[in-house]
Amino acid sequence: MHNRRDDSRNRNHRMTIVLADTDARYRARLRKSLEKMIGVQVVGESSDLEETTAMILNRKPDITILNSSLRGGLGIEVLEHVKRLMALPTIIVVTDDLARDNKTARALAGADFIFEKDMEDHEIVNAVRRLCAPHGRIEASDLPIAVRDE
């Protein structure tokens, strides 16, 4: 199986992340948690669909944490646009209402993980931690899409 991320990365590579959510306080809280991890760097934040799309295309992050709803459209629109132009980074979708969002559509669009916002911050951080494993060989496609079953 081909690794969607660059296999030539060495152990000194910083795992880069783009955060996209309309709530600036949520992004700040998540950024603070993520940047406590060695080797993780948040390289951009956005609340807007077009800005998020451009940020992913220009900065080519290893991971994108993307809300299902952004100013100007849906997160799934970002995924569909980006995957036409480049290999998607690992995608973690956060949603305000997991019951309302279509998990299958998100998975087909390229989401590797789906979490409920504010209920599962620790799960998001744990997913990033697993992706940052020192051997760097964990495939996002080898990990199940995580969802809350309530």
Q: Buried b / exposed e across 96-125, counting CB within 10 Å, b at 16+? A: bebeebeeeebbebbbbbbbbbeebbebbb
The pLDDT of residue 140 is 45
**pLDDT per residue as tens digits for the range 2-17:** 344 443 344 456 899 9
Residue 24 has pLDDT above 90, yes or no: yes
**pLDDT per residue as tens digits for the range 120-134:** 788 999 999 998 876
**pLDDT per residue as tens digits for the range 32-54:** 999 999 889 999 999 999 999 99
CATH superfamily of 22-136: Response regulator (3.40.50.2300)
